[in-house]
Amino acid sequence: MPSKKKLKISLSRKIAWTLKNEGVSSLVRKAKNYVATKTAKKEKLSLKDILFINGCALPHPERYRVDHQIEQLEAAGLTCDKVFYEDLSLERLKFYRGFVFFRCPVTPTVEDFIKKAHYFNKTCFFDIDDLVINRKYTDKIPYVAALPKDEKKTYDDGVIRMEKTLKLCDYLITSTPALAEELKSNYDKEVFINHNVASEEMLKLSLDTFSSTKTNKKFIIGYLSGSITHNPDFDLIKPAVLRFMSEYENVYLEIMGYLDLPEEFKPFKKRIIKKKFTDWRKLPKVIAELDVNLAPIEKSIFNSAKSENKWTEAALTQTLTLASNFGIFKEVIMDGKTGLLADSEEEWYKKLKFAIEYPEECARIAKAAHALARKKYITTYTGYGLANFIESHLSRNIGFVLPTTNISGGINVATKHCNVLRRNGYDITIISEAKPSENIKNAEGEINVVSDVAYDIDCRFDTLVATLWATLEFVKTYPEVKSRAYLVQNFETDFAPVGSDAKAEANATYNSFADIKYLTISEWCKDWLKSDFGKTAIYAPNGIDLSRFKFKERSMKGKIKLLVEGNSADYYKNVDEAFRIVEKLDPKKFEIHYLSYEGEPKSWYRVDKFHHRVSSDEVHKVYESCDILLKSSLLESFSYPPLEMMATGGFAVVAPNDGNAEYLSDGDNCLLYEQGDIDSAVEKITRLVEDEALRKRLETGAKITVHSRDWKHIEDRIVKLYA
């Protein structure tokens, strides 16, 4: 039976074997299956800044362009996650502020994801580290051009679909200046260059190699190939290497990876060291054993976009790199200072000879390269530029903290503000302090909702907004936020029963010592915030959507439909008084409708039709179906029901309070009765039914009031609240 050691084949060896024996298509298919298996475990989502969507099944590119960039961003203060593109779901949209698609081919899900991200004003970046985005580049690669027809078709399809994703995204991120130039000249998008850098773990592994010293007399030059596509690169230096090995008998050539070693090297068979692909964690030790790291690169537009990884990985182990004087190596390496550069065959030979004859000078160069790499090519020290680019292109995000998303007047106002802000380019998230966290969907659109009970909140906010006194604590204590606001819709001190601790706690929120921007939706709230607490609030009035609440003239013939609105469980809604008034109305003449978002009718209420928890999209139908609204609340910040009834052509009999005083006028657009005066309310309802001239006067005044409150006249003021 084979030993466990023989059975254990490394991922790198599997990649090499599959590439050599089964081709590109098989490698891509197997790699996808591997990644899918590794990510199959269901993770707990949390609200973070950036999600990387990895479209590359190969581990090396993913490590540099996903894992290392995540490490850079996290070192710069942003929170990140990653997912393989085939595991991407629309559910993830609400959990991140921006998305980075790396080498990601388009799929129906990817396309839908990006389109919906734009709906929510979330930014999509496309990251690419190679010119595998258009066939005008890939068709020029000899290896790709020589692929069997079926494999070439699969490869080309991936290239075409990758470019489609690129075009859908807003901004581009890439790894080299040459690649950036190609992107700028072909796509009308801003490009940011973020060089490949090493991780902290790579640095640690490289530093560990310093403890071992070479004891043999071999002079080892190494060519660590990435894949079979690098054969033409090695051909560039073949004559120089052959000449060098012929002249110096202690020179050994080490080859890692898949390379078709030319026949001319057969005489040096005993001085050829062949190594298979190795795990990246073992690579520093392999590189450290070399005297010279060879990095030839054939001159082509495709290769001009290649990164400096070979130099970086060698520099971290203080190993000298001899590279082609082309592309990124020409820009990164200072010849004779942080590495050696060569153009011609003769120059390659001379630089190899220099390396063996001047070891102390080469050690100095390698040491300088190491110092540069540690400063400029490690994730921890290089993330600010990328973080700043991403952060500067994210939409301004605002989080509204709600106690619940259950239907109520105050919730409806908050969601209205959310929809207005989304239409004006803001990235909006509702943080619900209760489960569930289903998105809010209505006629105006969709709002992202995340429950802080079910999920961790771990992203940056430009602004956090409290919407109820109990939500202010979250806003005050959440650390990663630039500005804090409090949308005050009522004097909630009076919501709590006498003697309750909540009464003082609510009251204290109006006099917060923290830097809170107070916002409100009524003149009444604005006034008491200033007079009683010294807080200057910014005010934007509430409005109404006249595209939904449409006017319909009432005839008052037949049985009159009277509507009572309010939660029977809330004392300040004073619903009991409304039903005491109802008791005095003739059941033969009046049909009683009751609308409540929470509380149900008490046993003694006379209710002919109960409307319970009607959605905001459907509530207009309730008002349209009734003739008169009877509203008896003691306390309101802004009382919507009278305005909604007036907008549909119905009439309102209302007990005045501070929340309706700013738009209701007795005898002009409604009829007011004094709270507690049951008989007065009955008399006014009777007058409405009998006096057509009164109804015409109220109807005219109501139209003027309603049109002044049309949301389209108010939206700009709402946006300014949060500016």
Q: What is the pLDDT of residues 429-442, one digit of tens each?
A: 999 998 878 999 98
pLDDT in tens, 542-563: 999 999 999 999 989 999 999 9
Q: Is the pLDDT of residue 11 over 80?
A: no
pLDDT in tens, 306-356: 899 999 999 999 999 999 999 999 999 999 999 999 999 999 999 999 999
Amino acid at 218: K
pLDDT in tens, 129-174: 988 888 888 888 877 888 899 999 998 999 999 999 999 999 999 9
CA distance linking residue 6 with residue 172, whole number of Å: 44
Pairing of strands 590-596, 609-612: parallel
pLDDT recorded at residue 311: 97
CA distance linking residue 461 with residue 603, whole number of Å: 47
How many helices and strands (H and E) does the chain possess? 28, 26
pLDDT category at 24 given cuts 50, 70, 90 is: low
Mean pLDDT of 61-80: 97
CA distance linking residue 439 with residue 451, whole number of Å: 10
How far is the CA of 277 from the CAs of 261, 283, 600, in angstroms? Answer: 16, 9, 71
> What SS3 class is residue 166?
helix
CA distance linking residue 282 with residue 292, whole number of Å: 18
Domains and CATH numbers, the chain: 10-193 (3.40.50), 200-377 (3.40.50.2000), 396-539 (3.40.50.11090), 560-709 (3.40.50.2000)
CA distance linking residue 79 with residue 461, whole number of Å: 12
Q: For the residues of 593-637, what is the DSSP string, one character each?
A: EEEESSPPPPTT---SEEEES--TTTHHHHHHH-SEEEE--S--S
pLDDT in tens, 380-405: 999 999 999 999 999 999 999 999 99
Are 294 and 348 contacting, i.e. CB atoms less than 8 angstroms apart?
Answer: no
Give the whole-number percent of the chain exceeding pLDDT 90.
78
CA distance linking residue 289 with residue 214, whole number of Å: 7
Amino acid at 657: N
CA distance linking residue 23 with residue 523, whole number of Å: 73
Q: Is the pLDDT of residue 231 over 90?
A: no
Nearest-CA neighbor of 670 among 654, 648, 686?
Answer: 654
The secondary structure of residue 44, as a DSSP letter, is P
Q: Is the pLDDT of residue 23 over 70?
A: no
Are 698 and 647 contacting, i.e. CB atoms less than 8 angstroms apart?
Answer: no
pLDDT recorded at residue 498: 87
> What SS3 class is residue 183?
helix
Q: For the residues of 380-428, what is the DSSP string, one character each?
A: HHHHHHHHHHHHHTSPPEEEEEES--S--HHHHHHHHHHHHHHHTT-EE
Which H helix or E strand runs over 485? Answer: strand 481-488
pLDDT category at 10 given cuts 50, 70, 90 is: very low
The residue behind tokens 């595991």 is 87
Nearest-CA neighbor of 476 among 464, 488, 458?
Answer: 464
pLDDT recorded at residue 8: 36
> What SS3 class is residue 471?
helix
Average pLDDT, whole number, for the chain?
A: 91
CA distance linking residue 529 with residue 527, whole number of Å: 6
